[in-house]
Amino acid sequence: MQYNVVLSDAQLTTVSFESSDKEIVYDPFPISQSGQPLDLTQTKVHLLPERLSLNFELVDPLLREHVKALVSFACKKRANTSIYNQFNIIKTLRLSGSHGDEESIQELIERQVRDVMESDQSATIKSVLRSLYGWFVEEEFPFFDEDFFDLYLDVLKFGTDDGKGKDVIMELPNRGPLTLREQHLFREAMASIDTSNLSLIELQGMVALKLGQVLGARDTQVIKLNFEDIGTSDNGSFFINAPRAKQRGHKRNNQHKKRPITNSLFELIMTLKQRYESSLGKKIEDKWPLLCTLTPRTGKPTKLSVTTDIFLTRRLAFENKLSLGFKVTNRRLRKTFCTQLIAKGTPLKVVAELMDHTDLQQLEVYYRHTHHVAKKLDDVLKTEAKDVIDAFKGKVISPGQASRSGQQIFAPTKNQKLHLIGSCASKTPCSLNPPLSCYGCASLEAFDDVDHKSVVEHFVSEAKETFGEGHAVEILKHKDYLAASKFVQQLEDGEL
């Protein structure tokens, strides 16, 4: 594994790695909070006036530039002692056991981070290490994976060292998957948008979020997309050759996966292309990036692969247009995409493929190691279902009052293999996912002598056993679970 360090005319250090398509850019001559000029091109720096020594030779060579970039950023905002403590924690990561490729380096870092989090080390060390990992993810540095942070590190609980705090998970707004209420509002807002009234920048932001909604695409994937990546299959359906989110070095940085897309997404992308052509007064080549800045004088786009700043500007412009009152980002939409797949019972191998993981090991971490114990379904209902699920739309009848014969609905319970829960009054073939989805369907004729609570509890228990306690809280937010539990609640309260 090798990396190249280049000092530009603007005195910014750019570091590229042989096995990764990501780069590190930082100022090697920052001024610290105490006013001390630092020279990060040296192997050792003393932070004054405390004379705290940062010896970069003690950091693993593959992380040396990561740490220098961290110091360059942090020294302007944080006290010297904080930087010194962070340095001493990050320098403990050793990568000598990796095979030199980005994937093995990433896995080795994650293994060591998990070991710390599951050890009896102080909560302060764990908290600092988690924050450092999160910073490297936000800056899109190589070897640090956002999924590992979002779905494992960010939901860990380990209290505080002073004994005052408890292991309580606080709900952080605008960070996790969209709640059901947020999904409902987001879909309504997207459907109501008139693209002809959007500026070019806002239209680009809409395309970016739509890609996140339909494909669970990361920021980097959206940035790399060109119009030539969009195509039509022989059967008339549309697809995108999505670039791999985790490219394995410059020698393999052109890997793509064929993903089907909706008609509405295809039409939106074509609308964007037409807007480019209208602005420039000429046809554009398929090699053009989906998101770019137009330069009418030369007729050439500026790709956004150099920086994410322009990409974020476009997404924020459209987010402001939606006026939802909460943040919608590709990162949140990616988490929503994943949890919806899990809620629908999608096999882990398929989820791993769609989330762009090379194997199941990474996703298994989320199920096996998440310390976030699922809340009770009643708690989920209080915060989610009241704003989304309407009153029960079907009927509660006695077994002899079914309107159509031969359409019995069976469901399993813990004590019986199958249980007759009601009848379907629909005259058309069912396109739902019975029997769980039946509780949210207007065609259900639920029998009044059935222990529906036991049926729903079995569905919940089965989901937890299959996918793990750690993901149950998101699974139970799926509309089918909410509708079923809402029905049981109303039945028990005498509302039906």
Give residue-wise pLDDT tens across range 358-375.
555 555 544 433 333 334
Residue 99 belongs to a domain: yes
Average pLDDT of the residues in 107-132: 87
Q: What are the angstrom distances between the C-alpha of 489 and each of 33, 286, 390, 395, 417?
A: 57, 55, 13, 15, 24
- Put the strands of the sheet holding 444-447 in their side by side order: 395-397, 444-447, 419-424, 408-411
Neighbours of 387 (CB within 10 A): 12
Angle between helices 452-467 and 479-492 (to 10 degrees): 150
135 and 220 fall within a common domain = no
327 and 361 fall within a common domain = yes
Tens of pLDDT along 163-220? 544 343 344 456 667 776 788 888 889 989 999 899 888 999 999 999 988 888 888 7
386 and 465 fall within a common domain = yes
What one-letter code names the amino acid at 141? Answer: F
Tens of pLDDT along 63-72? 999 999 999 9
26 and 136 fall within a common domain = yes
Q: Do the Cβ atoms of 82 and 52 come closer than 8 Å?
A: no
Residue 165 belongs to a domain: no
Q: Give the HSE-up count for residue 448: Cα atoms under 13 Å, Cβ half-sphere.
A: 10
In terms of average pLDDT, the best of 133-142, 302-311, 450-459 is: 133-142
467 and 382 fall within a common domain = yes
Instruction: Compute the mean pLDDT over every residue in the chain, rounded to the nearest whole number.
Output: 76
Residue 169 belongs to a domain: no
Q: Which of 367, 397, 423 is the last residue of a domain?
A: 367
213 and 354 fall within a common domain = yes
pLDDT at 335: 79
pLDDT at 171: 44
pLDDT at 357: 64
357 and 379 fall within a common domain = no
Q: Do the Cβ atoms of 26 and 72 come closer than 8 Å?
A: yes
Tens of pLDDT along 232-269? 888 888 888 888 765 444 444 567 888 888 888 999 99
pLDDT at 267: 92
Q: Which residues contact 156 (CB under 8 A, 6 or more apart)?
A: 117, 126, 130, 370, 371, 372
358 and 404 fall within a common domain = no
Statement: the pTM of the whole predicted model exceeds 0.75? no
Residue 445 belongs to a domain: yes
Q: Which of 340, 367, 394 is the last residue of a domain?
A: 367
Q: Do the Cβ atoms of 202 and 319 come closer than 8 Å?
A: no
Domain extent for 231: 180-367
Number of domains the chain is built from:
3
Residue 389 belongs to a domain: yes
127 and 222 fall within a common domain = no
- Put the strands of the sheet holding 3-7 in their side by side order: 3-7, 13-17, 23-26
Residue 485 belongs to a domain: yes
pLDDT value at 32 more than 80: yes
Q: What are the angstrom distances between the C-alpha of 403 and each of 345, 354, 399, 424, 426?
A: 32, 43, 10, 8, 9
Q: Which of 323, 340, 367 is the last residue of a domain?
A: 367
Neighbours of 38 (CB within 10 A): 22
Q: How sure is the predictor about 326, in pLDDT bands with cuts at 50, 70 and 90?
A: confident
